[in-house]
Structures are given as C-alpha cells and as structure tokens.
Amino acid sequence: MNERQKRLNELNRINERRKIPIIHSEKEYQDFIDKSLAERSEDTQRVNIGKTTIEARKHIEDVYGKSVSNIDIDNTGIIHTFDKKEHNLEPDDLIHAVDVINTPNTISLSEKKHQGCDVLVFKKDINGELDVLAEIHSLKDYLLIFNAMRKNKVRKRPDAAIKAPRN
C-alpha cells in the first residue's frame, strides 16, 4: 500500500469516528443506558464513552500486540448485559466500565471470539470483582464493550453480613 492510500485510509477512519456520538458525562452515559433498556431498539446505536489512558494502551499492547485509543459501547451490548440475570449487575455497574478498562487489576485475551473479533477481559475490584469484556477493533482504533458481569452479587446492605442472627 502506497503512502497516498495509507493517508486516505486514515482520513476515512477519522471521518467514520466523527459520526459516533461522544458521551461527555456520567449522567449522559446513565441516560444512554436507561434509554437503551427502555426502548430496546433493534437499530444499533454506538457511542464513545471514553479514551484509554497511556498506561492502559501499554497494557493492552502487552497483552494483544496492538493498542487502541477509544472505548465504545452500543445499545445491544447494554441490553445483553442486563438481560442476563446471572451477570449479577446493578443498574449503575456499567458506569464503571471505562475505569475498569483504564485501571484493571487484570487484563487477559479470551480464547473465545465475539462476532469474529478478538476479546479482551478486564477485571477490577469495585465493590466486588467486575468483569468487562470488549471486542478489539485495532484497525479502527476502538474497543467495543459488549458484556459485563460480576461473579458474586454485590451486597446492597453490607451491614447485613455482620449482624447477629436472631435466636
């Protein structure tokens, strides 16, 4: 591929990214989650929810061999994540996805692919272990979150575990 073609490909990628709405606040993100769950539209709507930090890019490159800058999610991933009871998620758990990707306790490459894409698994302890799974789209410079889960349900009342049982 010659230099002109490389530059055209890069411009096409940049122009494609410009079409993706950017979420600027936690409230906007929560509104997008709520709207996705309420409307359950079959039309896929993808949004950018953040950027990877320099440190996160290095970790991703160490695990995968390539780095990515953008973190996206779409309504279908949100619907899938919350439709599965065994995922044990509370409504605000997905808000932490960017933090989990940027500062994970562990990151690994899944042996399974999702829709033909390699998958990274990010894990972080936020009131219990939260796992975030993302497809890698390195040529288009983004991760697409498609799933999240907790192994154990988070206790909404942490004091319940330390209260003595009634006799």
Q: What mean pLDDT, rounded, does the chain reach?
A: 86
* Residue keyed to tokens 């079409």: 19
Task: Quote the CA–CA distance of 162 and 144 in Å, as a whole number.
Answer: 39
Name the pTM for this structure.
Answer: 0.82
Return the pLDDT at 62: 96
Residue 86, pLDDT above cutoff 80: yes
Q: What is the pLDDT of residues 22-42, one digit of tens each?
A: 999 999 999 999 999 999 988
Domain-by-domain residue ranges, the chain? Answer: 22-153
Q: Of 141, 150, 136, 55, nearest to 102 (Cα)?
A: 55
Q: How confident is the model at residue 19 (pLDDT cuts 50, 70, 90)?
A: confident
d(CA 82, CA 84): 5
Assess whether pLDDT exceeds 80 at residue 157.
Answer: no
Does 108 have pLDDT greater than 80? Answer: yes
